[in-house]
Structures are given as C-alpha cells and as structure tokens.
Structure 1
Amino acid sequence: MAALANNDARTVYARIVLGTKLPEAVPDLKDQRRNRAVDALLESGLVDRNAAGELVASEAVFRDLLTQQPRRQPETGVARFMRLGRIERYPANKAERRYLLTWIVGDAIKAGEDLTEKQVNERLLSYTDDVVLLRRYMVDFGLLERTRSGSSYSRPKET
C-alpha cells in the first residue's frame, strides 16, 4: 500500500485498474518515472503480469489484507444496545428490554436509595438524552417506583 503514496504510482495504478494498457495509460509520464511506478506497484503486489505480460490489478492483495484483519466478535449482553456507554436503541423484545433496563437501574441507582426526579434524571442522562422515556420504561417494567407522595423514586426491594 505504501506504493500508493507516490503520485505517479497512484496514477499508473488507477489506469491499470481501469484496464488501460501501458504506456498509453500515462502518456504524460516519462518512461523512467513510469517504469519506477510500475516497479513499485509490482513489488507491492498491487499489480501482476498476466499470461500475455500485460499489467493487471491484483485481486489477491486486498483479499489478503482483509483476511489479516481480526474478526470483530458479535456483541453480547447490554453492549448490543449501547454505544460508548449510551443507549443506541431499545430492544423490541420485551425480555431483552427488561434486561437492558435492569442493568441500567442497577448501575445508576443503589438499592434503598430515594432520589428526587431531578436526581434520577441527572443519573439517567449519562445513558440517554431522553431521560423521560428511560424513566418511564423503568417505572412501567417495575424497576423503579415512585413514592406515594410523588416526590421521589427508588428501586423496589427485589431489584
């Protein structure tokens, strides 16, 4: 790939990829510069010579580069729904949504803690900008309870 840092090599490579034959591919390049660019491309593996001796773009070089990349493992658990510690999307599946919400409640609010609505919102803000929706989901799923007076929230005893 370093060969493509050179402007001449990049131009020659682009023309070869498009199927143009040399030297017609780059008539404005002097032979010495064109030959140097071709040598760099051959050495890098970006181009090969076919049976007729013509320069062709190598298919193997990119395939080889891609196989060298580590495969990204599929995300599991709450990470499937989060990005950089924030909710990217809510799961459509209710069991998965409960799992996500339970994790967030456990992370944001300690058992036995009584918080005002403002305090709850401040803590949930690190997970989403829509704290009202998140708080509503938590209440609907029974993961967060509002006191009878309506002045504070807490986790139910079993969560």
Structure 2
Amino acid sequence: MKKRTLENILKIALDTFPVVLLNGARQVGKSTLALENFKNYLTFDDGELRLYAKENPKGFLKNLELPICLDEIQKVPTLLEYIKMHIDANRVNGSFLLTGSSNVLDHKESKDTLAGRLCELRLHPLSSKEKNNKPNENIIEKILRRDFKLPKKDYYEEV
C-alpha cells in the first residue's frame, strides 16, 4: 500500500478529537486509509447495516466496539446526532473515524451537531510523492537538486 501524506495528520487528529471525518472524492483511498488504521470497521454500503443504523441508532451505537470507523456515513446522516449524544456522555478522543464521499456536513444542522467534537480532513488523489512511496518528500527541494530520473517528456506527469 502507498503511504499517504495525510496519515500522520489523521493520527494527530484522532489523538485530539473524539470524531474525525475523512472526506474526499470517490476512489481517492478513504476506505483503504481507514482499514489500515482501524481494526473495527463497518461500511454503510451494507444495506442491512444501514437499515439497522437508521431504524435503531441508539442500539446500533450501543453495540459498537470503539474505536471504530464508520465508512460511507453520508448514507446515514441522522446517525450524527446520536454520535454527538454518545460523545457527550463519554468523550474519548479517537472514538470515531467517519468517512464519506460527499460532504456530510453540508447541512447547517450537521455542522452544529458535532461542533467542537469533530475534525474534518480532506483526502486528495495520490500525489506524485505518494505515488513514489515518499509521502514526506519535498518536491521543491527535489526540483532544485535536479534529482529526476524521468525523461523530460514525463516531467509534466511528475509535477
């Protein structure tokens, strides 16, 4: 797996906030990053799980083993209010990693629900340094050193 630049920031956010929302476009690696960092992982792509969470949000949350990643949270937006209540009753940093392809916090009610409890991070497609498995590499320094192993015709893809 490719090491992502955001991985270190994700770990800091999980140490600092009870809820971290990992947002991003489809297919950028949100689920992969979540699976690599969380032992407990559920996805709301599962229709039965999604239905259970919608019909019995309190029971759903009560049965979870924390910390946990809830993938595709935009499919059960009403769960955010219950996550807030859970956090208010038992505030532990890193309890929930939520992922979503669309912006879960577009609605004002959603923003207010988790205010002060949530850190939102955005995952972008792989950068050139991530593609080369050097997520902490400084591309500017590489350019200044003229440290390229690509033919000139391929520079546009690297930059």
Place the TM-score, normalised by the shorter chain, in its bin.
under 0.3
Larger Rg: 1
TM-score normalised per structure 1 = 0.23
Higher-strand-fraction structure? 2
TM-score normalised per structure 2 = 0.23
